[in-house]
Chains A and B, each alone.
Chain A
Amino acid sequence: MADEVKLFGMWASPYSRRVELALKLKGIPYEYIEEDLSNKSSLLLKYNPVHQKIPVLVHNGKPIAESLVILEYIDESWRNNPVLPQDPYDRAMARFWAKFIDEKIQPTARNANLAEGKEREQAVEECYQQLKMLDNELKGKSFFGGDTIGYLDIAALVIAFWPPKENMSTMLELAMKPQKLLLPTKYQDDDLHLPPMFDLPHGIFQT
């Protein structure tokens, strides 16, 4: 019996892209369903009644919501090309930093984007410090996952989706110095023969 995999997503959502990247890395065929978030489908509401959000993965009729929960599920259900490391401590670190991205970096970045004046300056500085901490985890490796893209690289993909509004660009400039952050360049690599899904909306990091 063939697996039936559906993904409810939204083209501009980095969380939906996380799931797509994991599915593509493992070569899992799936049907993609684009949701109009201003007019959510009854299917989406049926599959994610609690949050009513995308992404939702539906595997053989059973729905799973929350992008990081979905990543863990994908890794456990399709054992090829594992995205989480083997060692429990390394897995804990990957999970810790993914949480940090979602609970700290993302909200701070949003604040930096919306705030003005002194508040914006503070948010930008805070975000820079947070990015620095995450960047430090790369420690000379090609990816957080080592030589290949792993769970944390997939999670960190959201950073590539920050809109290039004036203030965000400024923040990214700040983030780039004094030492250039390694993070953003990772998503530009063509050598890995990644599927062409990295059509980043704004090509922020392209030189």
Chain B
Amino acid sequence: MEEVKVLGSWPSPYGYRVQWALELKGVEYEYIDEDLFNKSDMLLKYNPVHKKIPVLVRHGKSIAESAVILEYIEETWPQNPLLPKDPYERAMARFWINFVDNKDKAAPIVTFFIGVGEEHKKATEETKELLKILEEQALGEKKYFGGDEIGMVDLAMGWMAYFGVIEEIVDVKILDAESFPRLHAWIQNFRAHPVIKSNLPDHDKLLVSYTQKRQMFLGSTTT
């Protein structure tokens, strides 16, 4: 009997990636939700280097960093593969996961969420450029980033599936069907996938959570 634990923290998309991968492969696991303002001894023990989620624990050994965990899951449970067989296609998948996980590249998205004024305007334009690269070069004509089936890159792009909540909060819409038809279609397909559908954060709860987070950064209170 496999004993797999996943430490995550709702609604982190990095945590969801790991859960989605295990669910897609039909692997049973115990999910433990962490309060990142009050980290458990378990988290500190299993990820002493970064003290972050997600962490996967199996046979008493822990693995941190979602991209590393995804590769481990793929190698340990090869059913319903999340990476293509061809080495070049695999390299492309890893390239895009690396791209979206690059903190410098993703910085505009953060500023889009918590920035104001001129800074926010600039971040909006930069986020659009980022999305354009993803739409045209990463996704292209495919249904999923992984091709006909959901793959590892789709899981890494999962944050986009609930990006709409952020747009609602900052009251700026950029990921619309007219500007990004393929990404928009991808979001619908991804959200509708039977495994993903039952493992998505609730919209209303997200709205509350993200609004709080944003206000924390802005240092303001609701009127």
Contact = CB atoms under 8 A, between A and B. Distances in A.
Interface of A: 49-50, 59, 62, 64-66, 68-70, 72-73, 76-77, 88-89, 91-93, 95-96, 99-100, 103, 133
Task: Tell me whether chain A's interface is mostly helix, strand or loop, or mixed.
Answer: helix
Contact of B88 (A62, A68, A100, A103): A62
Nearest to A87: B75
B90 A72 contact: yes
A95 B133 CA distance: 26
Nearest to B58: A89
B88 A64 contact: yes
Interface stretch (B64-72, B113-121, B150-158): B64-72
Nearest to A88: B75
Task: Rank and list the top 9 A-B pairs by shortest CB-CB distance, nearest first.
Answer: A88-B75, A76-B87, A73-B91, A92-B72, A69-B94, A95-B68, A92-B63, A64-B91, A77-B87
Which of B61, B65, B91 neighbours the largest number of chain A CB atoms within 10 Å of its CB? B91
Given A66-B98, A76-B87, A133-B49, A50 B63 contact: no
A72 B91 contact: yes
A64 B95 contact: yes
Is chain B's binding surface mostly helix, strand, loop or mixed?
Answer: helix
A193 to B, nearest CB: 28
A65 B95 contact: yes
Contacts of A76: 87, 90
B210 interface: no
B79 to A, nearest CB: 14
B76 interface: yes
Contacts of B137: 49-50
Contacts of A68: 98
A143 to B, nearest CB: 20
Contact of B71 (A49, A50, A64, A91): A91
A95 B71 contact: yes
Interface in B86-105: 87-88, 90-92, 94-95, 98-99, 103
Contacts of B67: 95, 99
Contacts, number: 59
Contacts of A62: 88
A77 B89 CA distance: 12
Nearest to B138: A50
B68 A96 contact: yes
B160 to A, nearest CB: 18
B74 to A, nearest CB: 9
Given A59-B88, A91-B75, 9 more contacts: A69-B91, A69-B98, A73-B90, A92-B71, A95-B67, A95-B71, A96-B64, A96-B68, A99-B65
Contacts of B94: 66, 69, 72
Nearest to A59: B88
23 contacts: A50-B137, A62-B88, A64-B91, A64-B92, A64-B95, A66-B94, A69-B94, A69-B95, A72-B94, A73-B90, A73-B91, A77-B87, A88-B72, A88-B75, A89-B63, A91-B71, A92-B68, A92-B69, A92-B72, A96-B63, A96-B65, A99-B65, A99-B68
Given A92-B63, A133-B49, A50 B72 contact: no
B95 A66 contact: yes
A89 B75 CA distance: 9
Contacts of A66: 94-95, 98
A132 to B, nearest CB: 11
Contacts of A49: 137
A89 B91 CA distance: 20
